[in-house]
Protein backbone atom coordinates (compact mmCIF):
# COMPACT_ATOMS: atom_id res chain seq x y z
CA UNK A 1 0.00 0.00 0.00
CA UNK A 2 1.23 3.46 -0.84
CA UNK A 3 1.51 6.13 1.80
CA UNK A 4 1.97 8.89 -0.76
CA UNK A 5 -0.97 11.23 -0.95
CA UNK A 6 -1.73 12.11 -4.55
CA UNK A 7 -3.43 15.44 -5.14
CA UNK A 8 -6.18 15.45 -7.73
CA UNK A 9 -7.03 18.95 -8.87
CA UNK A 10 -10.29 19.65 -10.63
CA UNK A 11 -10.40 22.97 -12.49
CA UNK A 12 -13.92 24.14 -13.20
CA UNK A 13 -16.43 26.96 -13.00
CA UNK A 14 -19.94 27.71 -11.79
CA UNK A 15 -21.32 27.95 -15.30
CA UNK A 16 -21.07 24.97 -17.63
CA UNK A 17 -18.56 25.05 -20.42
CA UNK A 18 -20.32 25.93 -23.71
CA UNK A 19 -19.66 22.47 -25.16
CA UNK A 20 -20.76 20.64 -22.01
CA UNK A 21 -24.44 21.65 -21.89
CA UNK A 22 -25.92 18.27 -20.90
CA UNK A 23 -23.15 17.32 -18.46
CA UNK A 24 -23.08 17.78 -14.67
CA UNK A 25 -21.57 20.97 -13.25
CA UNK A 26 -17.91 21.13 -12.22
CA UNK A 27 -18.89 20.96 -8.52
CA UNK A 28 -21.12 17.92 -9.14
CA UNK A 29 -18.31 16.24 -11.05
CA UNK A 30 -15.90 17.01 -8.20
CA UNK A 31 -18.23 15.41 -5.62
CA UNK A 32 -18.91 12.40 -7.86
CA UNK A 33 -15.19 11.90 -8.50
CA UNK A 34 -14.30 12.21 -4.82
CA UNK A 35 -16.90 9.57 -3.89
CA UNK A 36 -15.87 7.20 -6.70
CA UNK A 37 -12.17 7.40 -5.81
CA UNK A 38 -12.78 6.83 -2.09
CA UNK A 39 -14.90 3.75 -2.94
CA UNK A 40 -12.31 2.35 -5.36
CA UNK A 41 -9.25 3.08 -3.19
CA UNK A 42 -10.53 3.26 0.41
CA UNK A 43 -7.12 2.41 1.89
CA UNK A 44 -5.26 5.19 0.08
CA UNK A 45 -5.01 8.87 0.94
CA UNK A 46 -6.21 11.26 -1.78
CA UNK A 47 -6.25 15.04 -1.63
CA UNK A 48 -9.04 16.45 -3.76
CA UNK A 49 -8.78 20.14 -4.64
CA UNK A 50 -11.37 22.20 -6.50
CA UNK A 51 -10.16 25.32 -8.32
CA UNK A 52 -12.60 27.82 -9.81
CA UNK A 53 -10.90 28.92 -13.04
CA UNK A 54 -12.38 32.42 -12.77
CA UNK A 55 -11.43 32.83 -9.07
CA UNK A 56 -8.29 30.71 -8.54
CA UNK A 57 -6.57 30.65 -5.16
CA UNK A 58 -3.48 32.75 -4.51
CA UNK A 59 -1.16 29.98 -5.69
CA UNK A 60 0.87 30.73 -8.82
CA UNK A 61 0.81 27.15 -10.13
CA UNK A 62 -2.98 26.86 -9.82
CA UNK A 63 -3.51 30.42 -11.12
CA UNK A 64 -1.39 29.71 -14.20
CA UNK A 65 -3.19 26.47 -14.98
CA UNK A 66 -6.59 28.15 -14.49
CA UNK A 67 -5.54 30.79 -17.06
CA UNK A 68 -4.44 28.00 -19.40
CA UNK A 69 -7.88 26.34 -19.17
CA UNK A 70 -9.48 29.62 -20.25
CA UNK A 71 -6.91 30.64 -22.88
CA UNK A 72 -6.70 27.22 -24.54
CA UNK A 73 -10.49 26.70 -24.40
CA UNK A 74 -10.11 23.38 -22.60
CA UNK A 75 -13.38 21.60 -21.82
CA UNK A 76 -13.89 21.95 -18.10
CA UNK A 77 -13.92 20.48 -15.63
CA UNK A 78 -10.29 19.55 -16.22
CA UNK A 79 -8.87 16.85 -13.94
CA UNK A 80 -5.13 17.02 -13.24
CA UNK A 81 -2.90 14.55 -11.38
CA UNK A 82 0.76 15.51 -10.91
CA UNK A 83 0.68 18.11 -13.74
CA UNK A 84 -0.90 15.63 -16.17
CA UNK A 85 -4.38 16.23 -17.61
CA UNK A 86 -6.31 12.99 -17.06
CA UNK A 87 -9.80 14.20 -17.87
CA UNK A 88 -11.59 17.01 -19.69
CA UNK A 89 -15.28 17.89 -19.90
CA UNK A 90 -16.68 14.49 -18.98
CA UNK A 91 -13.77 12.75 -17.20
CA UNK A 92 -13.55 8.96 -17.41
CA UNK A 93 -13.06 7.05 -14.16
CA UNK A 94 -11.06 4.34 -15.92
CA UNK A 95 -8.43 6.88 -17.04
CA UNK A 96 -8.23 8.50 -13.59
CA UNK A 97 -8.03 5.13 -11.79
CA UNK A 98 -5.31 3.99 -14.19
CA UNK A 99 -3.27 7.11 -13.43
CA UNK A 100 -3.64 6.60 -9.66
CA UNK A 101 -2.50 2.98 -10.04
CA UNK A 102 0.79 4.31 -11.50
CA UNK A 103 1.41 5.81 -8.05
CA UNK A 104 0.86 2.52 -6.25
CA UNK A 105 -2.87 2.79 -5.59
CA UNK A 106 -4.56 -0.60 -5.41
CA UNK A 107 -8.29 -1.27 -5.19
CA UNK A 108 -9.61 -3.76 -2.66
pLDDT digits (tens, 9 = 90+) for 89-102: 889 999 999 999 99
- Residue 17: which pLDDT band, with cuts at 50, 70 and 90? low
Distance CA 92, CA 74 (A): 16
What is the model's pLDDT at position 4? 78
pLDDT at 2 over 60: no
User: What's the mean pLDDT in 73-93?
Assistant: 93
Q: What does the DSSP assignment read for 16-51?
A: PPTT-TTSPPHHHHHHHHHHHHHHH-TTS-EEEEEE
Closest CA to 89 of 26, 34, 1: 26
pLDDT greater than 60 at residue 23:
yes
Among residues of the chain, what percentage have pLDDT more than 90? 74
CATH 3.20.20.140: does it fit domain 13-101?
Answer: no
Amino acid sequence: MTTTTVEIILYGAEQLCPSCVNLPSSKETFEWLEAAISRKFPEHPVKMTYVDIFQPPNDSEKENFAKRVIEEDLFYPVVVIKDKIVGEGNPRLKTIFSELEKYGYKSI
